[in-house]
Amino acid sequence: MGRVLFLGARSSHCCPGSTAFFWDAHLLLLPPRKVTLLVMGLDNAGKTSVIMDIERALAGEVLRDAQPGQTRLRVDRFEVTLVDLPGGQRSRSAWRSHYSEAHGLLFVLDSGDLARVEEARKVLSRVLSHPDVSGKPLLLEL
């Protein structure tokens, strides 16, 4: 299983005294924008491991009051919630109840498990065909 860590580029703040500085200061007064990302994939694909990697990489940005099965991060002006969805066959039917709240999907694929690539393709295809997922960004983690 590979690793791709992506949560959005960090912004650089410009020099004090410039128009850009005042614009940034103005943004800081706004409440953080809440973003929910669903972490999906087959059972044993590495979803929980990827989330743990992200938590380690962004340790200083992990918020402590997350619900079980969720990770909350403060990244720049975004408050990102990662929802770790169980991947077992019987759990997948419950995924759709999360689609409407999601801003994007992170689909984890174990590229070393060739025997299950076709199963993963079908599962991802079914997810993407759901109307509540249509048009939302997808990150494929191999």
Q: Give the interface with ligand GTP as residue ranges (CB under 6 A).
A: 1, 41, 43-49, 86-88
Confirm or deny that 87 is annotated as ligand binding. yes
Nearer to Mg ion, 77 or 98 (CB): 98
Q: Write out the binding residues for Mg ion, residues 12-51 only, by CB under 5 A.
A: 47-48
Nearer to Mg ion, 78 or 86 (CB): 86
Q: What are phi and psi of 61, to 5 degrees?
A: -110, 5
Confirm or deny that 140 is annotated as ligand binding. no
Q: How far is the CB of 114 from ligand GTP (least distance, A)?
A: 14
Confirm or deny that 114 is annotated as ligand binding. no
104 contact choice in ligand GTP, Mg ion, none (CB below 5 to 8 Å, kind-dependent)? none
Q: How far is the CB of 112 from ligand GTP (least distance, A)?
A: 7
Using the CB atoms, write b or e for 12-50: b if 16+ within 10 Å: eeeeeeeeeeeebeeeeeeeeeebbbbbbbbeebbbbeb
* Cross-strand partners of 74: 79
Burial class (CB in 10 A: 0-12, 13-18, 19+), 10: exposed
Known binding-site positions for GTP: 41-48, 87
